[in-house]
Structure 1
Amino acid sequence: MKAVAAFLLVLCYLAASDAWSCKEAPRLYDVAQIDAGQGKVVARNKNNHVFFLSGSSWYKLGSVSLKHVTVGPAGLWGTSPTNRVYKFVAGDFRPASGLSMQQVDAGGNGQVVGITSNTFYTYCLRDSYASSFKGVGSLSWTYLSWKLKYYSCGPKYGCWAVDTSSRVYFNRNMTPSTCSASGWTYISGLSLKMIEVATDGSVFGVATNGRVYQRSSISSIRPQGSSWVAVSMCMPISHLSYDLGQLWVVTNSGMLLQCSH
């Protein structure tokens, strides 16, 4: 395994673009999903175990198996293989009764957004509910009347999403205290399987063919940006996250790379 990883890393160095330089992140085998926010990095492996990065080492987080984990201003949340929602409270993931979600995102301005299993309906958990949940009782979700397969929000410029046909959409106005949201704007140019919004408003996505793209020229004047810019990678990518200048990417083979300008 180490020999294969070393060979793949050589390929990565040779394929590195002028804009990004990638190296192997602190080693965690069989990574399936990654999320970074506010200086924290969490990951899930293919056995649905969750890990937290401290220094150059990974530490198992909690005792619950999760298929998706997210960290941000709203805290540390996840969804289980049976689509139950969990929040990290007092050292472990605590279940919440209520709606079942296949994916949740805690990267917004205190609110949590989620997508229900099977139906792909979208919901939002108000910031007051998200912050006060202590691991007991039911969560009160607000229905957002949109079908999506991946949903990510940032605290600065709004939310981005991918629908069930891999089309990309942007929503500028999400009010954390009420979960009210305006209509979505279709963003042409790519078919994505997932998209992530960083705390600083940066947006990265993975196309259906495994290629990585960044949305350029995002600002308060033009929060939807202007175009997609390819980020050269040496291997097909399955998942990614960006925070504080670091782009974390998961390859189809389960390797984790750490990239920077």
Structure 2
Amino acid sequence: MRRLHEGLLLLLSMCGITSALTCTEVPGTLTQIDASNGQVFGVNNSTGGIYTLYGNTWTQLPGALSHVTVGLYGIWGVKSDHSIYRLVDGNWRQMSGVKSSSYHQDRLKQIDAGGSHSVVGVTTYNDVYCLEKSLAIAADGNSLLTWISFEGKYKYYSCGPLGCWGVKSDDKVFFQEYSTSYSSCGISRSHIKVPGALSMIEVGTEGDVYGVNRDGYIYRRAGITAANPTGTAWVHLSNDLGRIKHVSYDLGLLWVLTTEGKIFNCKVSALDCEQVPRALTQIDASNGQPFGVDSAGNIYTEYGNTWTLLSGAMTHVTTGPSGIWGVNSNHAIYKFIGGNWTLVSGLLKQIDAGGSQFIVGVNMNDDIYCLPKSSAIVADSGLTLPWIHIEGKLKYYSCGPLGCWGVNSADAIYYRHGVTPDSCAGSRWQNVPGAFSMIEVGTEGDVFGVNSNGNIFRRKGITKSNPIGTYWAQVEKKLGKAKHVSYDLDQLWVVTYEGNVFKCKV
């Protein structure tokens, strides 16, 4: 019965969602590949040759490796005899191997430099070792390295900004988060089983997770956030490339190797969307429930697959940990209490309830305000609310669990540091490259924006330690010109300039 149950979990998690790849073949033949921060390295095990990509040309490097990795701590590799090397000043320097009481456990067969805490690898006996970051940074081949072993056996192990993923000899998948206690190299000793079965797995520079199963199919883990680093489901990436052996993901490109050694760089195709039978001008979603308004000010929410008209009239509505709020055409502010819209003090043109039980918004003059948690919870018609003015000017402001984002009248993007539920004003602004007409932070901390051309972008690389992330990735779509977006529980809600509403799987 237990095996049957695990089989059902596998079927549900691996086959439930399908997306497609758009790929370009790259000349050359490789058996393993790794990419990070725009650099791509690969090896050909039939010759041992090491290659890196400059422009569209593969350049062979000196030496011979069976596995290569590139990441935060440089370029590392292992040879066919499982000895460990690092590229130092253009030359491969041999590093001291791992040591244990068992003489056979002093070499690595696979190595990964993609983590934020250490270099990791597995031995020929599937024992896992890590090298702490201070040693990894300084490693030059002249000193003995102390590799630390930790519990568990994996045949493939890879780390990223949110933790480490591994697959066992029976293809079961596990995750280990980063921890400051009871850990090795900052990696928790707790192994979290994730439904599914993969023969190899790779974590990208920004935390994206991809894997290949024994049948040569590619999967991407959906729903990964800083608050939920294990994600929610495996998405099958359909393609006609043949049987896949190895993948690596970096800066929006998925590098794919087939069992024949062919090389492809791929992009995930356009969003998988369905149109919602409702015309809206603005939408907001949180914890599985969307709310929206139309051009006449009518307010709607979705129950099941049915959109229900609520009482009242609003131009902007928001839902989140602080409840359901809205503003009308006169900029008056309302809170939904006991099934009714209750007028509260203040004037705003845009409002957001996505923060940790505090409220933010901007008024008709682009002045920025916030309402701390203690006041937002008890807000009612009989109270004068202590709205706190925040320096600067914004036309749109939105918050989530890892901070607040805004855009000004010139479409410049800003992140607000130091925001907490009780000190919602924060401490300082940081300009983030890019230009958006609106921006929204999802319940789990994901950040999406729309530019003046109606293109949608997602912020990649957001973590607790780096809440600003690393770059904007355009979300491919064929929906028309987007005007407004909201993200919740792996669903991206899109409103176009024509008022069409789409619900998309991300």
Shift of 1:17: 5.3
Task: Work out whether residues 172 and 182 of structure 1, in 8 Å CA contact, stay in contact via their aligned partners in 2.
Answer: yes
Equivalent of 1:151 in 392, 397, 410: 397
Q: Work out the CA distance in 2 between the residues paired with 1:159 and 1:178.
A: 12
Task: Work out whether residues 171 and 184 of structure 1, in 8 Å CA contact, stay in contact via their aligned partners in 2.
Answer: yes
Per-residue CA deviation, residues 32-88 of structure 1 (Å, 9 max, x unaligned), is 001011222101111111111110001112x22100000000110011000001000
Q: Which amino acid aligns with 1:213?
A: F
SS at structure 2 position matched to 1:184: strand
Whether 1:58 and 2:307 are equivalent positions in the alignment is yes
- What's the counterpart of residue 484 of structure 2? 239
Per-residue CA deviation, residues 125-144 of structure 1 (Å, 9 max, x unaligned), is 01111111133332210111
Q: Work out the CA distance in 1 between the residues paired with 2:304 and 2:469.
A: 34
Equivalent of 2:353 in 84, 106, 129: 106
Q: Which amino acid aligns with 2:470?
A: S
Shift of 1:171: 1.6
Matches within 5 A, 1:115-126: 115-117=362-364, 119-126=365-372
- What's the counterpart of residue 330 of structure 2? 82
- What's the counterpart of residue 6 of structure 2? none
- What's the counterpart of residue 184 of structure 1? 429
Whether 1:21 and 2:269 are equivalent positions in the alignment is no
Equivalent of 2:463 in 207, 214, 219: 219
Which structure: larger Rg?
A: 2
Q: Which amino acid aligns with 1:201?
A: G
Task: Work out whether residues 109 and 176 of structure 1, in 8 Å CA contact, stay in contact via their aligned partners in 2.
Answer: yes
TM-score (norm 1): 0.88
Task: Work out whether residues 389 and 425 of structure 2, in 8 Å CA contact, stay in contact via their aligned partners in 1.
Answer: no
- What's the counterpart of residue 94 of structure 1? 342
Q: Work out the CA distance in 1 between the residues paired with 2:489 and 2:327.
A: 25
SS at structure 2 position matched to 1:31: coil
Per-residue CA deviation, residues 138-183 of structure 1 (Å, 9 max, x unaligned), is 221011112100000002x100000111100112321211324011
Distance 1:17 1:48, change over 3 A: farther
Q: Which amino acid aligns with 1:107?
A: G
SS at structure 2 position matched to 1:128: helix
SS at structure 2 position matched to 1:164: coil
Q: Which amino acid aligns with 1:171?
A: R
Question: What percent identity do the matched residue pairs reach?
Answer: 37
Matches within 5 A, 1:124-143: 124-143=370-389
SS at structure 2 position matched to 1:22: strand
Q: Work out the CA distance in 2 between the residues paired with 1:17 and 1:233.
A: 11
Whether 1:44 and 2:293 are equivalent positions in the alignment is yes
Whether 1:35 and 2:284 are equivalent positions in the alignment is yes
Q: Work out the CA distance in 2 between the residues paired with 1:87 and 1:227.
A: 35
Q: Work out the CA distance in 2 between the residues paired with 1:42 and 1:71.
A: 7
Q: Which amino acid aligns with 2:356?
A: N
Q: Which amino acid aligns with 1:169?
A: Y
Q: Which amino acid aligns with 1:232?
A: E
SS at structure 1 position matched to 2:334: strand
Shift of 1:208: 0.9
List 4+ stretches of structure 1 deviating above 4 A: none
- What's the counterpart of residue 199 of structure 1? 443
Gaps of 5+ in 2: 1-19, 23-266
Q: Work out the CA distance in 1 between the residues paired with 2:357 and 2:464.
A: 19
Shift of 1:18: 2.1
Q: Which amino acid aligns with 2:347?
A: S
Gaps of 5+ in 1: 1-12
Q: Which amino acid aligns with 1:20?
A: L
Per-residue CA deviation, residues 183-239 of structure 1 (Å, 9 max, x unaligned), is 111011x21110000111100000011110000111112110101101112210010
SS at structure 1 position matched to 2:437: strand
Q: Work out the CA distance in 2 between the residues paired with 1:19 and 1:224.
A: 25
Q: Work out the CA distance in 1 between the residues paired with 2:360 and 2:383.
A: 18
